[in-house]
């Protein structure tokens, strides 16, 4: 299995631009999580999906952030417009519900907003 795939691995953009991060979960997994990691705040859960449905988006910081999961094999996290304080590493993780939530993480996308 290829594991969780994220793209791009690195993104540098200017303030005000739209940023789209992509994630392909492990085949057969039906829960997907988006996290943000910074030195100051650690690892924060932004949103998670179960069977493609958003279950809890309370971690999404602002309306500038949105996430979709149109099918079981693809999810996006969009920031529009981006701000310098959005600079962080964004991780996607997936798991198979019922297996006590062992999560498999992708390699992350390092986002820098100038």
Partner 1 sequence: SQQGEEDPQALSIQEGENATMNCSYKTSINNLQWYRQNSGRGLVHLILIRSNEREKHSGRLRVTLDTSKKSSSLLITASRAADTASYFCATDDTGGFKTIFGAGTRLFVKA
Q: In the structure, how many helices (H) and strands (E) does the chain have?
A: 0, 11
Return the range that interacts with partner 1 (CB under 8 A); candidates 16-24, 39-47, 60-68, 75-83.
39-47
In the bound state with partner 1, the residue whose beta carbon lies nearer, of 81 and 107, is 107
State which residue, 82 or 109, has the beta carbon closest to partner 1.
Answer: 109
107 binds partner 1 (CB under 8 A): yes
Choose the stretch contacting partner 1; rule: CB under 8 A; options: 19-27, 62-70, 71-79, 89-97.
89-97
Write the DSSP assignment of 50-86 as a string of letters. Answer: ETTEEEE-TT--STTEEEEEEETTEEEEEESS--GGG
Cis-peptide, bond into residue 81, ω within 30° of zero = yes
Strand order in 74-79's β-sheet? 5-7, 19-24, 74-79, 65-71
**Which position among 24, 48, 69, 111 is part of the footprint of partner 1 (CB under 8 A)?**
48
Q: Give the SS3 label for residue 34.
A: strand
Stretch that binds partner 1, among 16-24, 42-50, 69-77, 79-87 (CB under 8 A): 42-50
Instruction: Return the residues of window 51-70 that contact partner 1 according to CB under 8 A.
Output: 55-56
Question: Site for partner 1 (CB under 8 A): how many residues?
Answer: 23
| 41 closest CA partner among 18, 61, 14, 67 | 61
CB of 24 to partner 1, least distance (A): 14
């Amino acid at each position: 299995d290829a594991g969780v795939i994220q793209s791009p691995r690195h993104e540098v953009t200017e303030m005000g631009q739209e940023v789209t991060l992509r994630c392909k979960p492990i085949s057969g997994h039906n829960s997907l999580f988006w996290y943000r990691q910074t030195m100051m705040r650690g690892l924060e859960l932004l949103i998670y999906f179960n069977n493609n449905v958003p279950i809890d988006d309370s971690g999404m910081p602002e309306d500038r952030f949105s996430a979709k999961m149109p099918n079981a094999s693809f999810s996006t996290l969009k920031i529009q417009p981006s701000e310098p304080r959005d600079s962080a590493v964004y991780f996607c993780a997936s798991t198979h519900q019922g297996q006590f939530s062992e999560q498999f993480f992708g390699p992350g996308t390092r986002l820098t907003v100038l």
